[in-house]
Amino acid sequence: MVWLLLLLLLVRSSLHRRIEHLHALPLLVRRYVTECVVNEGLRLLLGGPMRDTWLCPYVEQQSQTHDDQSVVMAYNGEGRFLHPPHTVDSVYECSLASGCGLECRNRLVQRGPTYRLEVIRCMEAKGKFVKGWGVRSPDFIPKGAFICEYIGEYISDDEAESRGIRYDNQHMSRLMDVVGDGRDVVRMCIDATRFSNLGRFLNHSCDPNCFKQRVFCDHNSRLPRIAFFALRDIPPLEELGYDYGYQDVPGKTFPCLCGAWNCKKLLY
Ligand SMILES: C[S@@+](CC[C@H](N)C(=O)[O-])C[C@H]1O[C@@H](n2cnc3c(N)ncnc32)[C@H](O)[C@@H]1O
Ligand SMILES: [Zn+2]
Ligand SMILES: [Zn+2]
């Protein structure tokens, strides 16, 4: 009987923890969205679509007609990114106009995440949660696998400048620089403050296990999607982190608390 009671208590407390975790996410994020929203100011700046459609790189008879960028075969048959980080400018996934079916292997990010992800409080030394929240997975994530996107609100560079001052004062920035593809001159940012998915909770690491990659899934859109892929095999429950790649900011520093063996001690 005592054992039964103990078992019930255990199950209840673990259930409670999981429910707490699930309820915490909407409280942490103002508007949880699964695709980016576009700020009106940026929409006006961008104008209409500018890119031609691209054909599926896996439909052999079409391969003659590709230009250099669209010919990149990004993923293998198991849905793993095939190239070293930061060597492919943009991935162009197949879309309605590509002449292939939904099962085509060149449609990965558009299908959404498949590994489970948890938002966690990140403990630092001395029992403090100084880094805020972070992300991990209870699943093993193999090298090259797609993890999730960084989703938020696309804003213009000018708008990001003014919002950035406010965020810097709060020591918490959820801005990510985004550049259109080589033919596009518009510089923009994804701000994951008001609108976001859980991609905004990935912290910086000086020894990253993820990297970000620009992906286009629709020739009608000039807005690249930012996808995270596994840089190496990631064991369950290891915190996910990528290199923020921050430039030095004159007169300002921000301590890095990633805890990696090679930590540079400063984010910028
Ligand atoms: C995109 S958010 C990441 C999620 C954030 N930890 C939270 O609780 O919402 C970026 C912010 O997280 C914090 N951060 C991320 N990586 C960090 C690191 N390695 N060391 C210290 N702070 C970090 C900084 O405040 C940074 O401005
Ligand atoms: Zn295709
Ligand atoms: Zn570090």
Q: What is the pLDDT along the chain (268 residues), one digit of tens a residue?
A: 555 554 444 444 443 333 334 445 656 777 889 888 889 888 777 766 666 777 888 875 455 544 544 457 899 999 999 999 999 988 999 988 888 989 999 999 999 999 999 999 987 766 677 788 999 999 999 999 999 999 999 999 999 999 998 998 888 889 999 887 766 667 889 999 999 999 999 999 999 999 999 999 987 777 889 999 999 999 999 999 999 999 888 888 889 999 999 999 999 8
Whole-Å CA distances, 122 to 65, 119, 128, 230, 262? 49, 9, 8, 20, 19
Residue with CA nearest ligand 1 atom 11:
172
| Closest approach atom of ligand 1 to CA 204 | 16
Residues having CB closer than 6 A to ligand 1 are: 131-134, 171-174, 200-201, 203-204, 256-258, 267
Q: For residue 16, what pLDDT is reported?
A: 37
**pLDDT given at position 71:** 52
The CATH classification number of 33-242 equals 2.170.270.10
**252 contact partners, CB below 8 Å, separation of at least 6:** 168, 268
CB 167 within 8 A of CB 174: yes
The residues, any chain, with a CB within 8 Å of residue 207's CB and separated by 6 or more, are 241, 258, 260, 261, 262, 263
* Sign of the Cα pseudo-torsion (80, 82, 83, 86, in order): negative
Check if the beta carbon of residue 42 is closer than 8 Å to that of residue 155.
yes
pLDDT of residue 168: 85
Whose CA is closest to 69, among 150, 157, 184, 149?
Answer: 184
Helices (H), 56-133: none
Q: Which is it for the CA torsion 222, 192, 197, 246, positive or negative?
A: positive
Residue whose CA lies nearest to ligand 1 atom number 15: 203
